[in-house]
Amino acid sequence: MARPPRRLLLLTEGQLNIYDAKMAVAVIRYQPAQAAAVLDSTRAGEPLEEIIGVGQGIAIVASVADGLKYDPTGLLIGIAPAGGGLPESWRAIIRDAMEAGLDVISGLHTFLGDDAEFAGLADEHGVEIWDLRRVPENSPLATGRAASVPTLRVLTMGSDCCVGKMVTALELTAGARERGWDAEFVATGQIGMVVSGSGLVIDRVIADFCAGACEQLVLERARRQALFIEGQGSLIHPSYSGVTLSLLHGTAPQAIILCHEPGRETIQEHTVRIPPLARLVELHERTAGLIYPSRVVGLSLMCYRMTQAEAGLLMAQAERETGLPATDPLRFGVGPLLDRLEALL
Amino acid sequence: MARPPRRLLLLTEGQLNIYDAKMAVAVIRYQPAQAAAVLDSTRAGEPLEEIIGVGQGIAIVASVADGLKYDPTGLLIGIAPAGGGLPESWRAIIRDAMEAGLDVISGLHTFLGDDAEFAGLADEHGVEIWDLRRVPENSPLATGRAASVPTLRVLTMGSDCCVGKMVTALELTAGARERGWDAEFVATGQIGMVVSGSGLVIDRVIADFCAGACEQLVLERARRQALFIEGQGSLIHPSYSGVTLSLLHGTAPQAIILCHEPGRETIQEHTVRIPPLARLVELHERTAGLIYPSRVVGLSLMCYRMTQAEAGLLMAQAERETGLPATDPLRFGVGPLLDRLEALL
pLDDT in tens, B243-284: 999 999 999 999 999 999 999 999 998 989 999 999 999 999
ipTM above 0.90, yes or no: no
Q: B124-159 pLDDT, tens per residue?
A: 999 999 999 889 877 899 999 999 999 999 999 999
Verify whether the Cβ–Cβ distance B241 to A239 is below 8 Å.
no
Please give, rounded to a whole number of angstroms, the shortest distance from the CA of B84 to a CA of chain A: 10
Look at residue A210 in the predicted model and tell me its pLDDT. Answer: 97
Going by the DSSP 8-state scheme, the letter that residue B114 receives in this structure is G
Cβ atoms of residues B106 and B8 within 8 Å: no
Put simply, whether B275 touches A (Cβ < 8 Å) is no
Q: What are phi and psi for residue A106, nearest 5 degrees? A: -140, 140
Percent of chain B predicted with pLDDT > 70: 97
**Smallest CA–CA distance from A211 into chain B, residue:** B239
Verify whether the Cβ–Cβ distance A83 to B140 is below 8 Å.
yes
Strand partners, A157: A258
Please give, rounded to a whole number of angstroms, the shortest distance from the CA of A169 to a CA of chain B: 21
**Chain B residues within an 8 Å CB radius of A161:** none
Look at residue A88 in the predicted model and tell me its pLDDT. Answer: 82
Between the CA atoms of A193, A198, A203 and A207, what dihedral angle is there, to the nearest 10 degrees?
A: 180
Per-residue pLDDT of chain A (345 residues; tens, 9 = 90+): 445 457 999 999 999 998 889 889 989 988 898 999 999 999 999 999 999 999 999 999 999 999 999 999 999 999 876 666 788 889 999 999 999 999 999 988 789 999 999 999 999 999 999 999 899 877 899 999 999 999 999 999 999 998 999 999 999 999 999 999 999 999 999 889 998 888 999 999 999 999 999 999 999 999 999 999 999 999 999 999 999 999 999 999 999 999 999 999 999 989 899 999 999 999 999 999 999 999 999 999 999 889 999 999 999 999 999 999 999 999 999 999 999 999 999
**Smallest CA–CA distance from A83 into chain B, residue:** B141
B289: Cβ contacts below 8 Å, ≥ 6 apart: none
pTM to 2 decimal places: 0.88
Rg value, chain A, Cα: 20
Rounded CA-CA distance B315/B308 in Å is 11
Which residues in chain B (148-177) have CB-CB distances under 8 A to chain A? Answer: none
Q: B295-333 pLDDT, tens per residue?
A: 999 999 999 889 999 999 999 999 999 999 999 999 999
Rounded CA-CA distance A305/B213 in Å is 37
Please give, rounded to a whole number of angstroms, the shortest distance from the CA of B131 to a CA of chain A: 16
Look at residue B1 in the predicted model and tell me its pLDDT. Answer: 43
Average pLDDT value for residue range B193-214? 93
Rounded CA-CA distance B99/B90 in Å is 14
Structural domains present in chain A = 8-131 (3.40.50.720), 145-342 (3.40.50.300)
The answer, yes or no, to whether residue B3 has pLDDT greater than 60, is: no
B331: Cβ contacts below 8 Å, ≥ 6 apart: B303, B308, B311
Put simply, whether A259 touches B (Cβ < 8 Å) is no
Quickly state the pLDDT bin for B2 (edges 50, 70, 90): very low
Look at residue A1 in the predicted model and tell me its pLDDT. Answer: 43
Q: Among A40-49, A236-245, B82-91, B199-208, which stretch is predicted with the lowest mean pLDDT?
A: B82-91
Rounded CA-CA distance B304/B24 in Å is 17
More confident residue, B2 or B49: B49
H runs (alpha helix) in chain A = 22-30, 48-52, 64-67, 91-99, 116-125, 165-178, 190-196, 210-219, 241-251, 277-288, 308-322, 329-332, 335-342
Smallest Cβ–Cβ distance between A207 and the set B202, B235, B291 belongs to: B202
Strand partners, B235: none
Verify whether the Cβ–Cβ distance B142 to A82 is below 8 Å.
no
The answer, yes or no, to whether residue B5 has pLDDT greater than 70, is: no
Strand partners, B255: B154, B295
**What average pLDDT does the structure give for chain B?**
93
Element spanning A153, H or E: strand A152-158
The answer, yes or no, to whether residue B83 has pLDDT greater than 80, is: no
The answer, yes or no, to whether residue B41 has pLDDT greater than 70, is: yes
Residue pairs spanning A and B at CB distance below 8 A:
135
Look at residue B82 in the predicted model and tell me its pLDDT. Answer: 65
**Smallest CA–CA distance from B282 into chain A, residue:** A286
